[in-house]
Amino acid sequence: MRKTLNAWVKIAFLSVLLFSASYNVFSAASIGLSPGAAKFEGVLRGGYAEKTITLSTSSEMPLNCEITATGPAEKWFSYRAGNELVLKEFVLNPRSHQTITIMVAPADDVPNGVYEGYITVVIKPNASISGGMGSQISTGVSLKYSVEVSDVEHKNLVVNGVSITNDATTEEKGSSAAILEFSINVRNDGNVRLTPKFHIDLLSEDKGQILQSLEQADKLILPTTSQDRLISFPHNLTIGKYWAKFTASVDDQIIYETVLPFEVLERGSLRVRGTLVQVSLNKIWVYTGEIVEINASFKNDGVVSTPVVFKGKALLDGTVEGLIESDEVEAAPGETVDLATYFTPKKPGRYTITGKASFSKKQSAEKSSILNVRDIKEKPVGETVSTVPEPSGGGMDNSSIMVVAVVLLVAVIVGLILWNARKKPSKKDSADSPEE
């Protein structure tokens, strides 16, 4: 009996040890990727395009990752983790979401056609993760890519918005001219590299006279990318109200035009200034009918408090699919506040969530973010929205599940030991029992 008991205890101990070691590797290597495919359409030979994916992990430790591509287009790809260019390896922080930009640049001499393959992110084994015990397990996730190479040029530059980001003030006598700052957000939705030209006219209060002008050729904007631009316009205007006429053109064709009011104040006047820092989404890939949280961050750069509200819209192929407006929030001088609102897409497609912050009868520069929506009918059975669930107070994370599993295993083994001991008679009892 004693030998049997010792054997069962050893089995229990080894089982718990194996479960613990497995848990260390499993929890460290939990990783998810969204979306599961990257499709590049109409990319020119020698051209450029990019797509953004999101890697997620519920691991308690940083993960060393390696990203590689296979297939006929594998040498065309490069990658960026956040704002850092990735040659091959990068670190995924604990319990985080990491944005990865996949950049593709087909060779100049490749034939037209569709090139398919896979991009894989692998978690490199790490002795610190497995605790130095036994063999280490390497896991990863893959997405399918599709690159369509074409020789048909398509030019489409979109100006999402323009604003004057400062109140112009007069300068003291003898000093340099005051400066107006224009903030512009542009996106290249075509497949050709573009260099837009911006023209600004400062007009009198009645718009009848051009007082000053400025023209600037912008930097090159790559296909499928969005850029923020800041133009400084030195001026010698006196105190008063004025207008600024802004025009954007590509190849001498006007693509955008607007007129903005502004005021030149006396130096030292109390000023209300603010910046819409960014517009972010809690998810960038969803299915139709899912609720998306939109968060606009606004910073009060002025010297007085101001109420602020975020107003925007959801665009699908240039059509407004929904209007967005947050609750009003009071922003103190120097404070950054979050303006939250929600949007539920009803149609699949690539949305642009864009808007401005309105404060003290002023508007900030426009900011935008991209939302990718898939048809709920295409959702596989059992698929969750996020490949790696977020921790929540009402559920169990990986560690909780593993602890429960180990406890149940120990309970089962102990139960078997007690059941076996109760069922099997001792040698003394066997000797004393009468023979049949």
Asked: is 271-379 a CATH 2.60.40.10 domain? The reply is yes
Q: How far apart are the first and last CA of the chain?
A: 24
Instruction: Give the pLDDT of residue 132.
Output: 44
As a whole number, the mean pLDDT across the chain is 79
Cβ-contact 230, 181 below 8 angstroms: yes
Residue 129 or 410, more confident: 410
Q: Where are the domains of the chain?
A: 29-150, 153-269, 271-379
Cβ-contact 202, 244 below 8 angstroms: yes
- With bands split at pLDDT 50, 70 and 90, how would you rate the model's confidence at 421? low
Local structure of residue 93 (DSSP, 8 states): P
Query: Which CATH superfamily is 153-269 part of?
Result: Immunoglobulins (2.60.40.10)
Edge-to-edge order in the sheet of strand 292-300: 274-281, 292-300, 336-343
- Residues 288-297, mean pLDDT to the nearest whole number: 93
Strand partners, 99: 54
Handedness of CA 21, 23, 24, 28 (dihedral sign): positive
The string of pLDDT tens digits covering residues 304-342 is 899 999 999 999 887 899 999 999 999 999 899 999 999
Distance CA(167)–CA(362), nearest Å, equals 10
**Residue 157: CB partners within 8 Å, gap ≥ 6?**
186, 187, 188, 189, 190, 194, 196, 221, 248, 250, 255
The string of pLDDT tens digits covering residues 62-116 is 889 999 999 999 999 999 988 888 888 899 888 888 889 999 999 999 999 999 9
Q: Matching CATH topology for 29-150 and 153-269? A: yes
Distance CA(90)–CA(80), nearest Å, equals 9
Edge-to-edge order in the sheet of strand 226-235: 157-164, 178-188, 226-235
CATH code matching the domain that covers 29-150, chosen among 2.40.50.140, 1.20.140.10, 2.60.40.10, 3.40.50.720: 2.60.40.10
Match 């929600």 to its residue by tokens: 342
Residue 32 or 254, more confident: 254
Instruction: Give the pLDDT of residue 398.
Output: 44
Residue 135 or 4, more confident: 4
Edge-to-edge order in the sheet of strand 89-92: 37-44, 140-150, 113-123, 63-70, 89-92
The string of pLDDT tens digits covering residues 231-241 is 999 988 888 88
**Residue 312: CB partners within 8 Å, gap ≥ 6?**
279, 294, 296, 323, 324, 325, 353, 354, 355, 356
**CA 144 to chain centroid:** 20
Backbone angles phi, psi at 216, to 5 degrees: -145, 130
- With bands split at pLDDT 50, 70 and 90, how would you rate the model's confidence at 171? very low
The string of pLDDT tens digits covering residues 246-284 is 999 998 899 999 998 888 876 655 567 888 999 999 888
Distance CA(259)–CA(241), nearest Å, equals 13
- Residues 185-191, mean pLDDT to the nearest whole number: 91
pLDDT above 70 coverage of the chain, percent: 73
Distance CA(82)–CA(159), nearest Å, equals 24
Instruction: Give the pLDDT of residue 402.
Output: 53
Handedness of CA 200, 221, 167, 312 (dihedral sign): positive
- With bands split at pLDDT 50, 70 and 90, how would you rate the model's confidence at 7? low
